Amino acid sequence: MMPNKTAGFTIIETMLFLGITALLIMGVLVGAGTSINVQRYRDSVSSLQSILQNQFSEVSNVSNDTQADPACGGALRGQSDCVILGRFVTSIDSKTLSIKSIVGTIPAIPVASTNDVDVLKSYNIQVSAANSENYELEWGSSITSQAPSKSIVFSMLVLRSPASGSIRTFVSDNTTTPVLDGDIGSLVKDTNLARSVTMCVDSNGLFTGGKASVIVTANATSPSGIETLGEGTSGC
């Protein structure tokens, strides 16, 4: 009687099979991890754009409540000459934005000029102690300059003109030191109306691809004035 022969894999074949399978699994995991990190980075870019665009909506649809405000001398907003005029956005560092409301006092003698800058200056604008918030860029991202890449700060003032009703955006030319609350009036000038700023968004090692950018365009009057450029066209 012939002995039965059982077919099967040798130890070497089994080891080869397991090794190839492990490499395939590693490739899938690495690819999936890279895709997740790219999506996280792009989410951080779109979130930064969204938070800046939202400031225009806040200015357009302002709710002038009756909360007492130290910036109004303790008077009640909505029941005094103290009114909300806009929003102030400045970066505490390259990763965190500070967002605050801006109030002003209706002048006893209206300024004769119809120029929005002159009118806004006459309102003696101040940073409100109420309704302030901080926004931290998602997934550890930070904002940098275009080449050469280095960390930057920026300050942006979005105001609604009492004269024309138009929204006016003032951008600081200082990218190394944020504008302090007490110096907010220094932003209100014609040259800052015509200024734009490009913020490259650095992933800080989340992935090794190119950088996208968020741009505050000159003379921005609506959310459409905040734009983004992708990794291939941002110049970052």
Tell which residue, 61, 110, 65, has the closest CA to residue 83: 65
pLDDT at 144: 95
Q: How far apart are CA 30 and CA 1, in angstroms?
A: 55
Rg (CA), the chain: 27
pLDDT at 42: 93
Tell which residue, 146, 197, 151, has the closest CA to residue 171: 197
Positions in the chain short of pLDDT 50: 1, 27-33, 66
Q: Which residues contact 187 (CB under 8 A, 6 or more apart)?
A: 155, 157, 170, 172, 179
Q: Which residues contact 189 (CB under 8 A, 6 or more apart)?
A: 117, 170
Biggest CA-to-CA distance, the chain: 120
**Phi and psi of 47, rounded to 5°?**
-70, -40
Q: Which residues contact 145 (CB under 8 A, 6 or more apart)?
A: 151, 152, 175, 198, 200
pLDDT at 83: 87
Q: Which residues contact 157 (CB under 8 A, 6 or more apart)?
A: 86, 87, 88, 89, 102, 169, 170, 171, 184, 187, 188, 192
pLDDT at 13: 57
H or E stretch covering 19:
helix 11-60
pLDDT at 33: 46
Q: How many helices (H) and strands (E) does the chain have?
A: 3, 10
pTM: 0.82
pLDDT at 227: 97
Residue 42, token pair as written in the block: 């792009």
